[in-house]
Structure 1
Amino acid sequence: MPDSPASTRTPPLSRSQLVLFGLPEFAVYLAVIPVSLYLPFFYSRDLGLDITDIGLLLMLARISDVVTDPLIGALSDRTRSRLGRRRPWMLAGTPLMMLAAYQLFAPSGAVTNGYLLTWSVLLWLGWTMINIPYYAWGAELSDDFDERTRITGWRQAFGFAGNISVLLVPVTAAKLFDYGGVASEALVIIGAMALILLPVLIGTTVWRLPERSVVRAAPQPALRHLRHMLRNGSFLVLFAGFTLMSLGTTMIGTLFMLFTTFAMDLERQAQPILLAYFAVNIVGLPFWVWLSHRIGKREAWMVGTGVMALTTPAYLLLEPGQILPFVLITAVIGFAGGNFMALSMSMKADVIELASRRSRDHVAGAYMAVWSLGSKTTQALAVGLSLPLLGFFGFDPRAENSPAEIDALRYTISLLPPALYLAAMIIIVRYPIGRRRLERLRGAYQRRDARRERDAASEAGGLPGQKLEGAS
């Protein structure tokens, strides 16, 4: 992709460029999805750690990014190198994430609370060094309203493919080699995949896809960016809606293996059922991108969220062993959930463009850092609240559970997430940025910057002024 100033309208990315940009998402999903999907189940039932301790430790590991997320975002905005601003950080975070993922998924020696906490903190530090610059890079690839949805849709498709691989490869290995059918074996396979694919896929993207060069004004202090964010109503509305949705979806992911094993008595079918869930995620993604073009991003987001809120409580109707209705309910939730990440990220890119034009500074990294921090905090709360809640009601994966303790698991996974989805819808209905508003504000900022250029040239005695970011 040829470099171009951020102020000029860029042509749509080619399919090969979209593939290149999506590759890191596949690799990163391999390393992070098992943390909520497998680790609570594996470290409690198989390794013997207390489920309440696991929830609190995983929450603490995510909250440790309170410092690292804003720091990495601000530093990547200010980085100068031959590789650009974003790509050096992605390369630096890759080996750290590789090592931490393998140590978590294939632990050796004595496994204690300290072991789980240490490697979880290092995993999320590596994730921060990769994903905050990576998502900031994505927000800068295009100024076009619909092209951003296309970019985030492709990236999310690679993420969904990573989700499927987390399940498909162990399921296939179990069928062919009788290894991979349970969580402990699946994690060893996934850890080996992460060791190989993280450097290969991230390295390929960094090598083959240039960053978009941007003409920028002098950097503004990071605290000034934070003050701007706190006054940015569009960002705050979107941020609140996204974090509530993330809290709900992460709760389901955290509890799914426990629910399938103890409430549904379908442990051996858990991975194939999840495989179906992520498959319909991918199948549904083009529909949600299409629908967002027809009715708007906010409206399409609310439709998908509403379907999830109405469908999830149906888990309460299931009896142990009822695999077909379980699969159908999960598939509907998966299809509806295909819109969540892609549309949220596209809407966030719109917000970041307007913030960048308003401040005439690079703010993508700072916004991504705050977004990531909020996302991690809510996901930490999902683990840190749901698992101790089960422990409070007496549920213990290491012991025989009573019907009341199983019911606590059933009600937690069936009712808490839909309540969060409905709260997110109430908030997101206030999100104000649509296609027309974005184009109107973009034009206003371009006229402002053109006027300032003319004024600066006039004051300099007619010499051409330096082109400012956001001018056309």
Structure 2
Amino acid sequence: MKAMLWRYASMRLPLAILELPLYVLLPKLFSELLPLSLVGLMLLAARALDAVADPWLGRRWDKQSVLAGRHLRKTAWRALGYACMVFMLGFMLLLWWSSLSMALALDAVWSGLVLALGSTCTYLAYSQCSIVYQSWGAALARNDQARSRYALSREAAGLIGVMVVSIFVQAQSTFEKVAISMLLIGFSVLALLLFRGLAYPRYRSESAAPALDFHARTIWQSLPMRHLFICFMLSAIAAAIPATLVLFFIERVLIMPQAAPWFLLLYFLSAALGLPFWSRLSDRLGHRDCWLLAMLIAIAAFLFCLGIEAGDAWAYGLVCIVTGFALGGDVAMPWAILLRLIEQRQKSCPSAMPIAGRCIGYWTLVGKLNLALAAGIALPLWQVLGEGTQSLSWIYAGLPCALKCLSMIWLISHRGPEAL
């Protein structure tokens, strides 16, 4: 079982290594070649297209998985391989373009074309890979214990990837660019080798009738699925707001900008070390109660954060440890619940075609909207309140507490046969 878990988790490494530079590094690299406003608009357009395409990519994969029949494992492996090849080539072009354009003395038009096409292809390939990968996990995990294990092993690999690539994320030297390139290529090839031959259990319809199709409205009409998406959105926005403001908080409130990498490393390390705890606890309490406990721990830590002032490094370090520890339960448990609801929904209509791909597509769409909403809420609100340190503390820590409380109330209040 452990070997299977780590084989499955291996694909999360290249995806995590790609994420941080893709979202943090691209604006900086292309701001040297194009006006900053144009870079922002082009990246916004590429990310918006990527987010809107997620449900379509999921629906497309569901149909492909039906057509593949008994060749589903090979079809899924090829889909992962093609997606990895596209995002590796696209990201390499984006990463090295500034050096190449300066060496060849190319004008800004070429840089604009590379940014538009390269970012769009890379984002879409990343999303395609994520949807196939998570659908594969949904097929492998057949009970609640397995769902917890697969979710937590996936998050563990993601945290390892983030911590490794964060060392080189500035990409200010050729060595750092080479390191990021080799990490991405090496872990992508390793993951594809480990996935070759990995079982992909095929969904078999119990009816000989033509397969029925699920639509977004059909999925939304399932009360447990609707409750899960609402709770997930509230909780995820609450987590995305501190992620948006963390560097401002460290610089303006703590007045310790030089310590930011160490606080982030402490946060991710604590999250990684806490995953075995959530794995064991979910076997005893269940996914729903583990999620509630994780949100409660995060709320307590952020309430403590409201009293932090300049120079309180030890206090903020404790906040990083506690919130990082809660991250495992806050991220893995909702995904495990989603997999269970997908299986229940599929069994309730045995003549329907698979729905894992489109459900995961909508899930990733909501996740991307959460990041956009967090920035759209937190930054303008801070500006309206005067950009002071006290208002920053309340938005950074107080607003997430309120949103997580709403998520907990919603999760607790919906009990009965239609509960999570």
Structure 2 residue aligned with 1:62, among 47, 50, 54? Answer: 47
Task: Name the Cα RMSD after superposition.
Answer: 3.5
Assess, with a 3 A threshold, how the Cα gap between structure 1 residues 276 and 369 changes in structure 2: closer, same or farther: same
Structure 2 residues without counterparts, runs of 5 or longer: 102-107
TM-score (normalizing by structure 2): 0.82
Assess, with a 3 A threshold, how the Cα gap between structure 1 residues 68 and 333 changes in structure 2: closer, same or farther: same
Q: Percent identity?
A: 26
> 2:295, 2:326 within 8 Å by CA — same for their partners in 1?
yes
Q: Structure 1 or 2: larger helix share? A: 2
Q: Note if 1:77 corresponds to 2:37.
A: no
Assess, with a 3 A threshold, how the Cα gap between structure 1 residues 119 and 424 changes in structure 2: closer, same or farther: farther
Per-residue deviation, 1:215: 2.2
Q: Note if 1:306 corresponds to 2:296.
A: yes
| Larger radius of gyration between Structure 1 and Structure 2 | 1
Assess, with a 3 A threshold, how the Cα gap between structure 1 residues 274 and 233 changes in structure 2: closer, same or farther: same
Q: Give the residue type in structure 2 aligned to 1:299.
A: D
Per-residue deviation, 1:130: 0.4
Assess, with a 3 A threshold, how the Cα gap between structure 1 residues 428 and 194 changes in structure 2: closer, same or farther: farther
Q: Give the residue type in structure 2 aligned to 1:146.
A: Q
Q: State the partner residue of 1:132.
A: 131
Assess, with a 3 A threshold, how the Cα gap between structure 1 residues 225 and 87 changes in structure 2: closer, same or farther: farther
> 1:78, 1:219 within 8 Å by CA — same for their partners in 2?
no
SS in 1 for 2:123: helix
Per-residue deviation, 1:237: 0.8
Per-residue deviation, 1:352: 0.5
TM-score (normalizing by structure 1): 0.74
Assess, with a 3 A threshold, how the Cα gap between structure 1 residues 24 and 231 changes in structure 2: closer, same or farther: same
Q: State the partner residue of 1:275.
A: 265
Per-residue deviation, 1:106: 5.8
> 1:309, 1:421 within 8 Å by CA — same for their partners in 2?
yes
Q: State the partner residue of 1:152.
A: 151
Q: Give the residue type in structure 2 aligned to 1:340.
A: D
Q: State the partner residue of 1:464.
A: none
Structure 1 residues without counterparts, runs of 5 or longer: 1-13, 171-179, 395-403, 439-472
Assess, with a 3 A threshold, how the Cα gap between structure 1 residues 117 and 244 changes in structure 2: closer, same or farther: farther
Per-residue deviation, 1:139: 0.9
SS in 1 for 2:203: coil
Which whole-Å CA distance do the structure 2 matches of 1:219 and 1:293 have between them? 38
Which whole-Å CA distance do the structure 2 matches of 1:253 and 1:114 have between them? 30
Per-residue deviation, 1:277: 0.7
> 1:30, 1:166 within 8 Å by CA — same for their partners in 2?
yes
Q: Note if 1:420 corresponds to 2:409.
A: no
Structure 2 residue aligned with 1:386, among 378, 381, 387? Answer: 378
> Residues 164-175 of structure 1 correspond to what in structure 2 (within 5 A)?
164-167=163-166, 169-170=167-168
Assess, with a 3 A threshold, how the Cα gap between structure 1 residues 251 and 42 changes in structure 2: closer, same or farther: farther
SS in 2 for 1:429: helix
Which whole-Å CA distance do the structure 1 matches of 2:254 and 2:32 have between them? 17
> 2:77, 2:192 within 8 Å by CA — same for their partners in 1?
no
Deviation track 1:210-247 (CA, whole Å, cap 9, x = no partner) reads 3123323566465x332320211111111111122222
Per-residue deviation, 1:334: 0.5
Which whole-Å CA distance do the structure 2 matches of 1:287 and 1:152 have between them? 13
Structure 2 residue aligned with 1:369, among 361, 379, 400? Answer: 361
Q: Give the residue type in structure 1 aligned to 2:367.
A: S
SS in 1 for 2:306: helix
Q: State the partner residue of 1:33.
A: 20
Q: State the partner residue of 1:317.
A: 307
Higher alpha-carbon deviation: 119-128 or 30-39:
30-39
Q: State the partner residue of 2:246.
A: 256
Assess, with a 3 A threshold, how the Cα gap between structure 1 residues 66 and 253 changes in structure 2: closer, same or farther: closer
> 1:37, 1:257 within 8 Å by CA — same for their partners in 2?
no
